[in-house]
Amino acid sequence: MTTALITGSTAGIGAAFARRLAADGHDLVLVARDTGRLRVQATELHDRHGIEAEVLTADLATDEGIEAVATRLGDRRNPVDLLVNNAGFGNKGRYLEAPMADELRMLKVHVEAVLRLTSAAVAAMRERGRGGVVNVASVAAFVPRGTYGASKAWVVQFTQGAARDLAGSGVRLMALCPGFVRTEFHQRAGMGTDNIPGWLWLDADKVVAAALADLARGKTVSVPDPRYKALMGAAKLAPRGLLGGITSKTGRKYGPR
């Protein structure tokens, strides 16, 4: 039986990955900051699907949290076959409106943690000649919109470059770039959603299903919905200033999870 480790597993896309992977028979390592929620999630998934669900409490905005997860990923006796780097958050407001400490915390979680955890996982996977990594980015990576979009653009570029370097190793890497997904993301960031058209919202379980299918096909970037594929195609042709103006109407983040 294979094991998947999911960061930010207790809500949103992370929880959807946990549900789907458990249903498919994978054991899980569930990572988040809230121990109570992790234990409830682990118990529910174990009781429903008969899988083993390990709980790892870690704050990926800290060196200690990142190192704890990296150590688990590097455990050769209990290998992780699939890493889902999902943990993330958004800041409310435009550039210079968010405190610098929050901006740096975002970079710690979205960039440094993704780099360190991917590297820990891939080093062990390459030795075994198999494994996979899904780094959850966002369609925000493709539009000019502040620190969040910049951090997700880094995730996409890093994942594509690493995937190229690891070609032929048996290890697959993919950046997942969803649009607006109905999760706790906006509420936690204090963002309103009333101005977002209903047709832009995606279902987290469908996003995960599309992502896993794309990973199996060997894609290095997944935009999991025809509507967003069309929008991103249009984005390549639209003036960047126009795109920045459009995304500013939705607050700090475009394409949340």
Catalytic residues: 148
Q: What does the alpha-carbon distance between residue 134 and residue 107 come to, in Å, rounded to a whole number? A: 18
Strands (E), the chain: 3-7, 27-32, 53-57, 82-85, 131-136, 171-176, 221-222
Quote the Cα angle for 107-179-91, to 5°: 35
Q: What is the CA radius of gyration of the chain?
A: 17
Q: What does the alpha-carbon distance between residue 93 and residue 127 come to, in Å, rounded to a whole number? A: 44
The answer to whether the CB of 255 falls within 8 A of the CB of 139 is yes
Name residues whose C-beta falls within 8 Å of residue 179's C-beta, 6 or more positions apart in sequence: 138, 139, 200, 202, 225, 227, 228, 231, 254, 255
Q: Work out whether strand 53-57 and strand 171-176 pair parallel, antiparallel, or are unpaired.
A: unpaired
Place of tokens 């996409």: 156
Quote the Cα angle for 200-132-182, to 5°: 20
Name residues whose C-beta falls within 8 Å of residue 139's C-beta, 6 or more positions apart in sequence: 177, 178, 179, 223, 228, 231, 232, 254, 255
Tokens representing residue 148 in the block: 């969040």
